[in-house]
């Protein structure tokens, strides 16, 4: 490297070194397919490698190679348990090779984080890396920054991070001191609105005030509804008689009523959220997990608080935000690995420019994927699932049951309990606990119930894992016992995976299936469906349902029909596409903000680093004073105005009257000089009093505070703009073009005002010291 060789040239030697070291210290020699995976990861691509193929070990190859440049490699995991686990696992290898390994965890001090980031290989979660970036752009001194360059990132379980998690931006927020009483008032308006009876969106419908779009979890007001809303705003004194709902300052009210309607008609207690300690807590739709610190945006959370009559918490205002997409795109090189990427390869290509390459398995895959069984009702389906579990249990074959929510896990658990079938249920208490339960899901007679994403990243070995902290003298006996159990599970056909429902995306189905059949093990999987499943209820056409009804099935009898199977996969594609569009739109809108964010952060960083702040302020100030004077042609007519401006905005008592009386034809330059001299005189006095260096520090702080304040307001405005922009659609304008136009105008305007505010604020604040 030092002699000028490129990483590509060094790849063979670097990879061989890693392989040899791994063999010596771990007794694991990278398989050839793992070397292939390593090459793919080095080449800015996504490697699809099945679960259990050893992605953790694969990652050591490109990580070592890319760390040679000295710029640091970030390895991203889904949660902190996995970050710590993988760092610990690979540390001996990296350290043998002379590299430092760091872990970046939430809650670490700045010093600890800086130390972690100075390592060659840094492990951490996507959230933590992303928040560090945002926080680094909010510091008041360069010394408080933690991140170095964003060089090479390797994302484990990349689909989960770049797809599932990428639907909402990451936000750092503070309190906005908004008037929360309004949520109660809008909550009271809800009963006035009538739900539209027809199932299709119809804005000019006369049969109701709003339409519910169940698929998109959205509510739309019809023309009737908008009229009614305008009337209610008047009634509750939000607007005057002569005001329209559509004016710029009023359209934000639409957001409140939409939030109130969504709270009442779409979001249900104990399904979408629970109430705990008088607080609304979101339940994650994929994992069934409580999302303790998250709040819904767009006022929805407050609207639900109003609906449930719990304390309404202050709307938090965004101080900084970025999408995961735009964060990761800042790295010079991205790569990722997962068991399930192929179905999403289009999105990886379009959004991130990442190619997906499928790596073959080390041993041939012999898992049996059994055809779906479809039942008329949920009840019949659950019965069949229980029957399947029971059969496995009786033969001692281990089973893993995947559900879509904690609630559904509990239904199955209860039935098994009644039958006396011993089982484990993943209760989402902690990642570590989940990992320890799921790692034993391959033992004889094990029945494990889990929501679909839970325990991801943990290997399921047939026969279970041997506890690391075991007595050395007994190890041989224990190994023998394990081998016997392992062989027995293999004879029984390995782990059987049951899916209790098809998920909204084929990828999640594949993820669940992939839990079995690792590294050439036997295994089987089967999905159970019913016509009452939400995927089928919402996305499968009435015609197909009618055909099924014509089959005249007996109770408990399943259907297997290729029409239905293809209809389901079509439905999944439709949902996948819908979610893709949401993410695409999020990024399209964030791209615009991203340009502004980059400019803004650049300005802020320059201020942070600036050596001669006094010169910067002087230049700025002279510009501003010039601008003020430019606005007046005839000073004599505007003496009072001018004096007021300097008095109010610059804390400067300056008598234009006296100055102009003696000089009838005074030049602008002379006035400027006189004003500046006066300011300088005041400045000198203050500098003497407070100390020259102290004043410079105060100035910097004032400027950064103003910048942050303006940025916060700008983000708020952009948010309103984005939400309101769809109403422009009514007047046949392209919402995105409008958004670009307006946000550009607002942003450049903000930069202009900023200059003025900085000068005026500094002078005012400093002269009051
Ligand atoms: P993945 O992340 O691909 O699902 P893991 O990285 O968790 O898989 O690895 C699964 C198991 O395979 C681990 O127990 C690991 O020690 C083992 N393993 C990985 N690579 C090798 C290898 N080359 N030789 C032997 N065992 C390996
Ligand atoms: Mg893994």
pLDDT at position 247 = 62
What is the structure's pLDDT at 529?
92
**Residue 662 CB neighbours (<10 A):** 7
The closest-lying atom of ligand 1 relative to the alpha carbon of residue 22 is: 23
Which carries the bigger pLDDT value, residue 223 or residue 158? Answer: 158
Atom of ligand 1 nearest to the CA of 30: 23
Lowest average pLDDT, out of 19-33, 138-152, 368-382, 616-630, goes to 616-630
Checking if the pLDDT of 683 tops 90, the result is no
Does residue 636 carry a pLDDT above 70?
Answer: yes
pLDDT-derived band at 15 (thresholds 50, 70, 90) equals: very high
Query: What gap in Å lies between CA 154 and CA 167, rounded to an integer?
Result: 20
Q: Is 541 helix (H, G, I), strand (E, B) or coil?
A: coil
- Strand, coil or helix: 338: strand
The pLDDT tens digits of the residues spanning 316-329 come to 678 888 989 899 99
Q: Output helix, strand, coil percentages for the chain, rounded to the nearest 5.
A: 55, 15, 30
Q: How far apart are CA 145 and CA 7, in angstroms?
A: 29
Task: Rank 519-523, 656-660, 754-758 by mean pLDDT and report only the highest.
Answer: 519-523
Closest ligand to C-alpha of residue 359 is 1
**Atom 14 of ligand 1, residue of closest alpha carbon:** 459
User: What distance in Å separates the CA atoms of residue 19 and residue 10, rounded to the nearest whole number?
Assistant: 14
Whose CA is closest to atom 26 on ligand 1? Answer: 28
Mean predicted lDDT score pLDDT of the chain: 88
Query: Which residue would you say has higher pLDDT here, 206 or 446?
Result: 446
Instruction: Name every residue whose Cβ is closer than 8 Å to that of residue 610 and which is 6 or more positions away in sequence.
Output: 616, 700
| Residue 727 scores a pLDDT above 70 | no
What pLDDT shows up at residue 298? 74
Q: What is the pLDDT of residue 248?
A: 55
pLDDT, position 115? 97
CA distance 747 to 139: 22
Q: How far is the CA of 55 from the centre of ligand 1 (A)?
A: 7
Of the bound ligands, which one is closest to the alpha carbon of residue 32?
1
Residues 440-452 have a mean pLDDT of: 92
- On the question of pLDDT at 421 being above 60, the answer is yes
CA of residue 410 to ligand 2 center, whole Å: 27
Question: Is-contact 304 267, C-beta < 8 A?
Answer: yes
Q: Which of 54, 76, 439 to mutate to test the pocket of ligand 1 (most atoms within 8 A of CB)?
A: 54
DSSP 196-264: -SSSS--TT-SS-SEEEETTTTEEEE-HHHHHHHHHHHHHTTSS-TT--TTSTTTTHHHHHHHHHHHHH
pLDDT of 662 over the 90 cut: no
The ligand whose atoms approach the alpha carbon of 57 most closely is: 1
**Residue 30: CB within 6 Å of ligand 1?**
yes
Residue 717: count of CB within 10 angstroms of its CB: 15
- The pLDDT of residue 394 is 96
Nearest CA to ligand 1 atom 22: 28
- 201 pLDDT exceeds 70? no
Mutate to test the pocket of ligand 1, among 21, 38, 56, 518 (most ligand atoms within 8 A of CB): 56
Q: Does the pLDDT of residue 542 top 70, yes or no?
A: yes
**Under 8 Å between Cβ of 290 and 275:** no
Cα(59) to ligand 1 centroid in Å equals: 11
- So what's the pLDDT on residue 652? 78
Q: What is the pLDDT of residue 251?
A: 64
CB of 51 shorter than 6 A to ligand 1: yes
pLDDT on residue 612: 85
What span, in angstroms and rounded, lies between the C-alpha atoms of 641 and 632? 10
Task: For residue 649, name the pLDDT band (cuts at 50, 70, 90).
Answer: confident
Q: Which ligand is located closest to the Cα atom of residue 55?
A: 1
Q: Please report the atom of ligand 1 found closest to the CA of residue 53.
A: 3
Contact 113, 194 (CB under 8 A): no
pLDDT of 176 strictly over 70: no
What's the pLDDT score for residue 440?
94
Q: With 60 as the cut, is the pLDDT of residue 221 above it? A: yes
**Best-predicted range by mean pLDDT among 162-176, 408-422, 712-726?**
408-422
Residue 53 CB–ligand 1 contact under 6 Å: yes
Tell me how far apart the alpha carbons of residues 558 and 209 are, in angstroms, rounded to a whole number: 42
Contacts of 189 (CB under 8 A, 6+ apart): 229, 232, 236, 257, 260
Question: Which residue has its alpha carbon closest to ligand 1 atom 9?
Answer: 54
Atom 23, ligand 1: residue with shortest CA distance:
30
Summarised one tens digit per residue, pLDDT across range 81-104 is: 999 999 999 999 999 999 999 999
Q: Indicate if the pLDDT at residue 730 is higher than 60.
A: no
Instruction: For 34-49, write each residue's pLDDT tens digit.
Output: 999 999 999 999 999 9
d(CA 99, CA 123): 13
Helices 735-767 and 639-650, axial angle in degrees (round to 10): 80
| Mean pLDDT, rounded, for 68-87 | 95
Chain CA centroid to CA 149, Å = 22
Position 344 confidence tier, pLDDT thresholds 50, 70, 90:
very high
What per-residue confidence (pLDDT) applies to 427? 67
Task: Report d(CA 460, CA 569) in Å as an integer.
Answer: 28
Residue nearest to atom 17 of ligand 1 (CA): 54
Q: At what angle do helices 32-42 and 7-26 cross, to 10 degrees?
A: 140
C-beta pairs of 140-143 under 8 Å, 24+ apart in sequence: 140/608, 140/700, 140/701, 140/704, 141/608, 142/608, 142/609
Query: Does residue 755 surpass a pLDDT of 60?
Result: yes
Indicate if the pLDDT at residue 390 is higher than 80. Answer: yes
Beta-carbon-side half-sphere exposure of residue 370 (alpha carbons within 13 Å): 14
| 94 C-alpha to ligand 1 centroid (Å) | 17
Q: CB under 8 Å, gap of 24 or more: what pairs does 740-748 form? A: 740/592, 743/592, 743/593, 743/596, 743/718, 746/714, 746/717, 746/718, 746/721, 747/596, 747/599, 747/714
Quote the pLDDT of residue 731.
59
- Rounded to the nearest angstrom, the distance between the alpha carbon of 47 and the centre of ligand 2 is 12
Q: Which of 164-173, 389-398, 448-457, 623-632 has the highest mean pLDDT?
A: 389-398
DSSP assignment of 37-67 equals HHHHHHTTEEEE--TTS-HHHHTHHHHHHHH
Q: What is the mean pLDDT of residues 249-258?
A: 77
Atom of ligand 1 nearest to the CA of 55: 3
Q: Ligand 1: which residue has its CA nearest to atom 24? A: 28
Is residue 434 within 8 Å of residue 79, measured between CB atoms?
Answer: no
> What is the atom index within ligand 1 of the atom nearest the CA of 50?
3
Residue 769 has pLDDT above 70, yes or no: no
Whole-number pLDDT of residue 297: 75
Please report the pLDDT score of residue 255 as a whole number.
80
pLDDT bucket at 293, cuts 50 / 70 / 90: low
Q: Give me ligand 2 centre to Cα 599, in Å.
A: 38
Give the separation between CA 364 and CA 36, rounded to whole angstroms. Answer: 16
Query: Would you state the pLDDT for residue 558?
Result: 87
Ligand 2 centroid from CA 55, angstroms: 5
| Ligand 1 atom index nearest CA of 34 | 23
pLDDT band, residue 653 (cuts 50/70/90): confident
Measured at the CA of 340, the angle between CA 409 and CA 571, to 5 degrees, comes to 70
Ligand 1 centroid–CA 335 distance in Å is 19
The SS3 call for residue 90 is: helix
Compute and round to an integer the Cα radius of gyration of the chain: 32
Q: Which ligand is nearest to the CA of 157?
A: 2
Position with higher pLDDT, 437 vs 244: 437
Residues constituting the chain: 769
């Amino acid at each position: 490297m030092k002699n000028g060789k490129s990483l590509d040239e060094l790849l063979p030697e670097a990879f061989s070194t890693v392989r040899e070291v791994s063999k010596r210290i771990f007794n694991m020699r990278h398989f050839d397919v793992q070397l292939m995976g390593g090459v793919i990861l080095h080449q800015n691509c996504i490697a699809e490698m099945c679960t259990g193929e050893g992605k953790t070990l694969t990652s050591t190859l490109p990580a070592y190679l890319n760390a040679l440049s000295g710029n640091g490699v970030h390895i991203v995991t889904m949660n902190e348990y996995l970050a710590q686990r993988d760092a610990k696992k690979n540390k001996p290898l990296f350290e043998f090779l002379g590299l430092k390994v760091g872990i970046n965890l939430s809650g670490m001090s700045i010093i600890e984080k800086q130390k972690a980031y100075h390592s060659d290989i840094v492990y951490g979660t996507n959230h933590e890396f992303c928040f560090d970036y945002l926080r680094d752009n909010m510091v008041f001194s360069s010394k408080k920054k933690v991140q170095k360059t964003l060089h090479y990132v390797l994302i484990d379980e990349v689909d989960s991070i770049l797809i599932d998690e990428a639907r909402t931006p990451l936000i750092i927020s503070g309190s906005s001191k908004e008037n929360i009483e309004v949520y109660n008032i809008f909550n009271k308006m809800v009963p006035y609105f009538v739900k539209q009876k027809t199932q299709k969106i119809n804005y000019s419908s006369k049969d109701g005030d709003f339409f519910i779009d169940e698929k998109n979890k959205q509510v739309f007001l019809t023309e009737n509804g908008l009229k009614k809303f305008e009337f209610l705003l008047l009634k509750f004194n939000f607007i005057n008689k002569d005001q329209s709902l559509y004016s710029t300052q009023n359209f934000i009210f639409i957001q409140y009523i939409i939030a109130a309607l969504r709270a009442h008609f779409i979001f249900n207690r104990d399904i979408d959220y629970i109430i705990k300690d008088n607080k609304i807590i979101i339940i994650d739709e994929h994992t069934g997990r409580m999302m303790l610190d998250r709040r819904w945006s767009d006022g929805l959370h407050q609207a639900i608080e109003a609906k449930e009559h719990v304390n309404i918490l202050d709307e938090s205002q965004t101080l900084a935000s970025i999408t995961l997409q735009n964060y990761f795109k800042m790295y010079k090189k991205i790569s990722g690995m997962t068991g399930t990427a192929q179905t999403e390869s289009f999105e990886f290509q379009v959004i991130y420019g990442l190619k997906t390459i499928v790596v073959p398995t080390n041993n041939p895959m012999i898992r049996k994927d059994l055809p779906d069984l479809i039942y008329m009702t949920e009840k019949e389906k659950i019965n069949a699932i229980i029957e399947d579990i029971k059969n496995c249990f009786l033969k001692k074959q281990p089973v893993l049951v995947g559900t879509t929510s904690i609630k559904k896990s509990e239904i199955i658990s209860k039935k098994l309990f009644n039958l006396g079938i011993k089982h484990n249920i993943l209760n989402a208490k902690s990642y570590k606990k989940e990992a320890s339960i799921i790692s034993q899901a391959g033992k004889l007679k094990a029945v494990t119930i889990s929501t679909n994403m839970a325990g991801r990243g943990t290997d399921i070995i047939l026969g279970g894992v041997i506890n690391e902290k075991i007595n050395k003298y007994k190890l041989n006996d224990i190994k023998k016992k394990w081998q016997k159990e392992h062989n027995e599970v293999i004879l029984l056909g390995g782990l059987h995976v049951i899916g209790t429902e098809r998920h909204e995306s084929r990828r999640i189905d594949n993820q669940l299936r992939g839990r079995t059949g690792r590294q050439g093990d036997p295994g089987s999987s089967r999905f159970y469906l019913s016509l009452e499943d939400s995927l089928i209820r919402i996305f499968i056409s009435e015609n197909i349902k009618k055909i099924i009804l014509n089959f005249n099935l007996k109770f408990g009898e399943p259907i297997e029909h290729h029409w239905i199977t293809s209809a389901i996969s079509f439905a999944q594609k439709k949902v996948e596409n819908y979610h893709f569009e949401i993410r695409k739109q999020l990024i399209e809108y964030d791209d615009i903000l991203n340009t502004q964010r980059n400019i803004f952060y650049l300005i802020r960083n320059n201020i942070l680093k600036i050596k001669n702040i006094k010169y910067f302020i002087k230049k700025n100030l002279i510009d501003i004073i010039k601008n003020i004077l430019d606005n007046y042609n005839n000073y004599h007519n505007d003496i009072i105005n001018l004096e007021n401006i300097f008095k109010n905005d610059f804390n400067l008592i300056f008598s234009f009257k006296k100055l102009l009386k003696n000089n009838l034809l005074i030049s602008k330059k002379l006035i400027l000089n006189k004003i500046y001299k006066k300011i300088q005189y005041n400045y000198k006095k203050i500098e003497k009093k407070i100390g020259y260096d102290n004043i410079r520090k105060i100035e910097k702080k004032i400027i950064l505070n103003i910048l942050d304040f303006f940025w916060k307001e700008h983000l708020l405005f952009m948010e309103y703009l984005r939400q309101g922009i769809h109403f422009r659609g009514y007047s046949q304008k392209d919402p995105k073009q409008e958004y670009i136009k307006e946000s550009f105008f607002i942003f450049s305007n903000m930069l202009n005002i900023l200059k003025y505010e900085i000068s005026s604020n500094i002078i005012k604040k400093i002269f009051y010291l």
